[in-house]
Amino acid sequence: KELSNDERQALKDEYHGNTLLSSYVKALGFTLAKTELGIWKLYLVNSSLDEDLKTSVYQEFETELGYTIDFFKELSGEEQYLWFRPWLQESIDLRSAMIHPLNLCQLESLRRGDNELLCNSVTGIACGMLTTG
């Protein structure tokens, strides 16, 4: 639903005056900072789903993600997802360079049926995410 200008302003006023809502938006920013659409798409493309379903799911997910990003930026007035903790954004950026290759290893392990590689890649991804947000 498209909000009217008055509704948008009321929501922004509530955001600035309500710590619960502002905390929610910060948590949303943290989630968005960790979201990697390209990695998710690789898992989707490599799934056993029907090709038409893969396409429609991806398009819907991409659209909803766009709406979420627009909502976040409009409500918070910020372009950076983690403006309130820039060190955390840096940590996520540094982590991503180490975790993304593990995502590729995980996909390859699934393709090959290599359980040892799968376990190692899952452990590596989980450890990286646990220690860096």
Percent of the chain at pLDDT > 90 equals: 85
Per-residue confidence (pLDDT) for residue 107, from 0 to 100? 95
Mean pLDDT of all residues in the chain? 94
**Percentage of the chain modeled with pLDDT above 70:** 97
User: What pLDDT is recorded for position 101?
Assistant: 93
Segments making up each domain of the chain, as ranges: 1-81, 85-133
Band of residue 133 on the pLDDT scale cut at 50, 70, 90: low
Ramachandran category for residue 80: left, alpha or beta (phi over 0 → left; psi -120 to 50 → alpha): beta
Q: What is the pLDDT of residues 85-116, one digit of tens each?
A: 999 999 999 988 889 999 999 999 999 999 99
Round to whole Å and give the CA distance between 15 and 78. Answer: 13
- pLDDT of amino acid 53: 98
The DSSP code sequence of 59-109 is: HHHHHHHHHHHHHHHHHH--SSTTTT-HHHHHHHHHHHHHHHHHHHHHHHH
Q: What is the pTM of this model?
A: 0.85
Given this model, what pLDDT does residue 28 score?
A: 98
pLDDT band at 132 (very low <50, low <70, confident <90, very high): low
Q: What is the mean pLDDT of residues 14-23?
A: 97
| 56-73 pLDDT, tens digit each | 999 999 999 999 999 999
Which residue's structure tokens are 């996909």?
Answer: 107
Whether residue 77 contacts residue 16, with contact meaning beta carbons closer than 8 Å, is answered with no
